[in-house]
Structure 1
Amino acid sequence: MDTPRRKLRNLHMENVQNSSTPIRVPPSPMLKTLGHGTGVSVYRLDRSPRLGQIRSPWAVKRITQSMRVRKDTLFNARIVHEADILRKLKHPNIVGFRGVVTNDEGVNTLALEMCTTSLGSILEERHDEDLGPLPAKNTFKMIMDVALALDFLHNEARLLHGDLKSFNVLVKGEFEICKLCDFGVALPLDEQGEINFPKNPGLRYVGTSLWCAPEVIDDMDIIDSKADIFSFGLVIYETLALVPPHTLELDAALGEELDSSHDLSTETEKMQRKQLDFSADESKGGPVEMDEQTDNDMSTEVIDDDEEEEEEEEVDEDEDDTKENDIKENDISDFTLNNLHSAYGTRPPLPVAFQLSDDYNCIVELFYLCTNALSEDRPAAKTIWQCLENNAANVATGSD
């Protein structure tokens, strides 16, 4: 599906935001689960036809039932914060905002543009099927699209994404277009393109440690947009290694052979993906301050008492997942975890199992440039997409 022209896209967004038609979101068990994050789940909402016209599905995001039972307000507040940000971001490479509703229990639900899948899911499948690195042409498309989104985010919206990783890059079709998502922990950049934490004590960086830049891991007082660029470099790494950054080192610490088909056990990988959040507390963890804002033109769907049984099933699943991950975490020694933590904020070595063709030379070069230790040595997002554009033009004309 082609991206609508900007004029049509903006008109569509105005219609969505100004529409008086209520958003009806059924209980979670009645929705198709698309994925899980820390404290939240994402579901597919198939909308019923209107006036004989088929309407595209939406992705809806809400806190998990276990978080509701615990009355944890942090992740619920992040959904409101993300909605407040997304309604202001209009860019073809940023996931579209569709609406936000709050039910009588105070649970927030965010409705978003639906994409086919995430880059992280694609890479997981390639890893499981031993298919090798993502094809170079798809990686170039992803890099171009995400760089365009970051350039807009850093220089026009004045925001730091703050949690860039493969699962926060959405893919439509066969890499027809890639879109950046998940702005729940985004931070405002000042006029200098920086975040000065001592001057803004209410602001906190809440990224996932495996993808964090060294200045974040070192708890620096001032960081800039290049923190996103380091994380972007690690997303590029994921397209080559097919596993999250630093988890190959975890394999080594566990005594597994790096060259025996680079296998990262499912249990260890799931544990790591669950663990990604608890280690963020080592840096600046916590919610971002936000302004209160309500959508008076949107109604909510109240979950009736007779649906409690279905909701209980979700509670049990969440609790089982939590117990399972706690066990897996305890099975890994403190020595191994310390080795993993010491790798945070560094450039992970590329896997030796893959033989990369010359098509990947530019991709590998970008990985190294984006993961330079010093932020000033990393390229800006604009530099990245401009270089790719120039290279594409040179290839098309046969120039060197």
Structure 2
Amino acid sequence: MASTEDKATKGSLKNVSSDFLTPVHPAKRSRVSVATPARNSPATKLQIPASPFMKKLGWGTGVSVYLLERSPRPDGSGRSPWAVKKIRSKYKKGRGDVDVEGRLKKEAVILKKMSHANIVEFRALSKSADGSLCLSMENGQQSLMGMIDKRKEAGKGPFPAAQIYQVALSLASALNYLHNDLKYIHGDLKSGNVLVKGDFETVKLCDFGVALKLTDDLNGLENPTDDYVGSQPWNAMEVHMAGDITHKTDMFSYGLVIWEMMSLEAPHLDLLFSGDDSEYDDDETSFDESEFEAALGTRPPLPKENLGPAYQFLIELFCACTIEDPTQRPSAKMTLAALEDVML
């Protein structure tokens, strides 16, 4: 049964005209190939080539991500490429400030439990030629953050409403599964952890290395001493104020992903700079951390560019998810239902 706050929030989301929305539900994903190790097996002996022999796709805390082009099958048919997350040498064997190897192993355990069309698929946990632990996953082609950066550099405006809707629908479905079926929060939701194939044909959530286990009622952490990591600009007020972490903490970050696609910016980062321009310039610009830190956990303003009526539902959803009081935010389950309702 939906909670009182879910019912209240849903009322503000339903009554929106949505003729412009024509989402395509992701097809049921295919089973993993025979090259994929069994879900309960230990790290496979699959060898990952040295880094110079793979194309670099991106990076994260303590890791680099590479594209692994796999050799054809014996019958000559091709194999899909994998994305390989590899620990950087600085962070091997406990070096550095973060236990990256522990996060990678934890992510592998969580990914092997999952089976959802909007969550990246596990492929293998293995060692590279230099002994680095590597997590292999399906290749998601491109990150949403990268797409946002390219669109901004090209001088384009917000993403079309239908594309933002597709991302919102896909992520709500992934979070509903993660929260209600597996009892986890993602813990670091942002555009950089959203993968897109093609022209938004498929949208998948990735990077579960800092996910945290929830209580059965979703209103707290199973282990209250667990640390929420996240990324500062996307973290909810309860993270910054050392409040209770619940499933609604993910929903704040979810709302900011919608905002990113409308504004083509990262939340609050413009406040780090003072001067005539938000771009960094040694001569004219200086960092102003106080204003930035004061804004963390709050709702950023909508872009100055006038958004047409096609964006009205998305604006309402963004505003509902970024309420500072977590009890007033919609749950992933309610958000998914509201998104599906506007298809009618």
**Match of residue 81 from structure 1:** 106
* Residues 158 and 189 in structure 1, CA contact (< 8 A), matched pair in contact too: yes
Correspondent of 1:359 among 310, 313, 331: 310
Gap regions ≥5 residues in structure 2: 1-24
Verify: 1:376 aligned to 2:327, yes or no: yes
Alpha-carbon distance in structure 1 between the residues aligned to 2:310 and 2:140? 27
Return the alpha-carbon distance in structure 1 between the equivalents of residues 133 and 113 of structure 2: 19
The residue matched to 2:36 in structure 1 has which SS? helix
Matches within 5 A, 1:146-165: 146-165=171-190
Deviation at 1:103, TM superposition (A): 4.9
Query: How far does the alpha carbon of each residue in 1:19-76 deviate from its partner, in whole angstroms, 9 at most, with x for none?
Result: 9985231111111011111221111000010111100000000122333498336112
1:41 maps to a residue whose letter is S
Shift of 1:108: 1.1
Question: How do 1:290-309 residues align onto structure 2 when only pairs under 5 Å count?
Answer: none
Offset at 1:136?
0.7
- What is the 5 A alignment of 1:289-328? none
Change (3 A) 1:44 1:196: closer
TM-score (norm 2): 0.85
- Structure 1 residues 105 and 30, CA, compared in 2 at 3 Å: closer, same or farther? closer
Match of 1:255 among 252, 265, 275: 275
Instruction: For residue 5 of structure 1, report the CA deviation from its aligned partner.
Output: 3.2
Pairs within 5 Å for 1:99-114: 99-103=124-128, 107-114=132-139
Q: CA deviation at 1:223?
A: 1.7
* Map of 1:200 onto structure 2: 224
Question: Residue 100 of structure 1: SS of its match in structure 2?
Answer: strand
CA gap 1:342/1:237 in 2 versus in 1, 3 angstroms = same
**Identity percentage of aligned residues:** 40
For residues 255-307 of structure 1, the C-alpha deviation after alignment (integer angstroms, 9 at most, x for no partner) is: 235xxxxxx43x58xxxxxxxxxxxxxxxxxxxxxxxxxxxxxxxxxxxxxxx
1:18 is paired with a residue of what secondary structure? Answer: coil
Q: Which residue of 1 aligns with 2:37?
A: 17
Q: Distance in 2 between matches of 1:391 and 1:340?
A: 35
Residue of structure 2 equivalent to 1:345:
297
* Contact 1:238–1:244 (CA under 8 A) maintained in structure 2: yes
Where does the alignment leave 5 or more consecutive residues of structure 1 unmatched?
A: 258-263, 269-327, 394-400
Aligned equivalents of 2:195 and 2:219: distance in 1?
A: 27
Alignment of 1:136-155 (within 5 A): 136-155=161-180
Query: TM (normalized to structure 1)?
Result: 0.73
Total equivalences in the alignment: 313
Q: Which amino acid aligns with 1:256?
A: D
CA contact (8 A) 1:62 1:76 kept: no
CA contact (8 A) 2:48 2:127 kept: no
Match of 1:54 in 2: 78
Distance in 2, Cα, partners of 1:204 & 1:374: 20
1:219-255 alpha-carbon deviations (Å, 9 max, x no partner): 11x221000000001111101111100023334xx12
Q: 1:14 to 1:215 in 2, by over 3 A?
A: farther
RMSD value, Cα: 2.4
Residue pair 1:161, 1:228 contacting (<8 A) in 2 also: yes
Secondary structure of 2:220 counterpart: strand
State yes or no: 1:237 paired with 2:189.
no
The whole-number CA distance in structure 2 between the counterparts of 1:175 and 1:235 is 15
User: CA separation of 1:143/1:4 partners in 2, compared to 1, >3 Å: closer, same or farther?
Assistant: closer
Q: 1:152 to 1:75 in 2, by over 3 A?
A: same
Task: Indicate the structure with greater helix content.
Answer: 1
| CA–CA separation in structure 1 for the residues paired with 2:343 and 2:132 | 47
Distance across 2 between alignment mates of 1:31 and 1:103: 12
Does structure 1 conserve the Cα–Cα contact (< 8 Å) formed by 2:184 and 2:213? Answer: yes
SS at match of 1:392: coil
Counterpart of 1:374, as a letter, is D
CA contact (8 A) 2:238 2:245 kept: yes
Alignment-mate amino acid for residue 146 of structure 1: L
24-33 vs 11-20, which deviates more?
A: 11-20
Q: Does 1:67 align with 2:91?
A: yes
